[in-house]
Amino acid sequence: MFRRSMTAQAQPVVFVSLTGDEAIKLYDLDPQSGALKLRATSPAHGPSGALFLHPSRPVLYDGHVMSTTLASFHLDTTSGELTLINKVDTGLDTPAHLITDPAGRFLLTAYYTGGGVTVHRLDDDGAIGDLVQRIDTGPKAHAVLLTEGERFVFVPHVCPNNKTSQFRFDANTGQLSPNDPSVLAPPEGELGPRHICFRPLGDVAYIVNEQGNTVTAHRFDPEHGTLSIFQDISTLPADYAEGGHTAHVEVHPNGQWCYASNRGHDSIVG
């Protein structure tokens, strides 16, 4: 699922991936009531997964989970219908997450099964263009995040890889280079870093750990682009012993609240 305001009037919309149906649904979101109203259903031309909207063009990107392909679509902002622009076979299994840089020049993708991260150039019409770079960081890469200022990239990996890769990013060429250190380990044990987000001030990053059922807070060094741990906290009640796996982490726009989702316990913790 992906939420974005996509018109000059900032009408909130929600995109929903239907993996098995190979479709993408677009809903209008009522900001007052929170109600959703279906506007359009479009073919995804593959098992739809992670979605990302181009920062300045009506173009949507889809990482086809359970496959090796990425797709770009033109979005009709009136009807909400998607039209395929192009589809690229990367040869890497299970794209788990993808983003563009703020200028919309490059597409960065993390791969769960194929492992690592790719950078593709984006053409003027939004089509996915040439491969700029592929870096193999091992399997289970689950997310990719580019910091404010476009200088640094983080790629969390769940277990057994159990790490977050740290990169420098060249906004002119799209090239990634390993930072120093190139790897951030979780606090201890097989925690499985899965997703990452920053609070609005940009000084603290939160990583949700899939196998450990915790959220780890990190100080961000904006000069060197590295993270240092200062807190790790459970997402589950102290008396809960049935296990589970966390999935996602978000920070409220006011920067005062961090939320994570629990699978198994079937809850959201804040």
Task: Answer yes or no: is 243 within a domain.
Answer: no
For residue 112, the model assigns a pLDDT of 98
Question: Is 48 a member of any domain?
Answer: yes
For residues 232 and 38, what is the distance between their CA atoms, to the nearest angstrom? 39
User: What is the Cα–Cα distance from 213 to 88, expressed in whole angstroms?
Assistant: 35
Q: What is the pLDDT of residue 2?
A: 52
Tell me, yes or no, if the pTM score tops 0.85.
yes
- Confirm if 260 and 208 have CB atoms less than 8 A apart: yes
Q: Domain for residue 57, yes or no?
A: yes
Within-domain flag for 74: yes
Kindly state whether residue 240 falls inside one of the protein's structural domains. no
Domain tally, the chain = 1
Asked whether 107 and 97 are in contact (CB, 8 A), the reply is no
Mean pLDDT per segment of 10 residues, for the chain of length 270 residues?
Answer: 50 95 98 96 98 97 98 97 98 98 98 97 98 97 96 97 98 98 94 97 97 97 97 93 92 96 94
- C-alpha closest to that of 133 among 109, 154, 163, 157: 109
Does residue 72 belong to any structural domain of this protein?
yes
Residue 17 included in any domain: yes
The CATH number assigned to the domain holding 66 equals 2.130.10.10
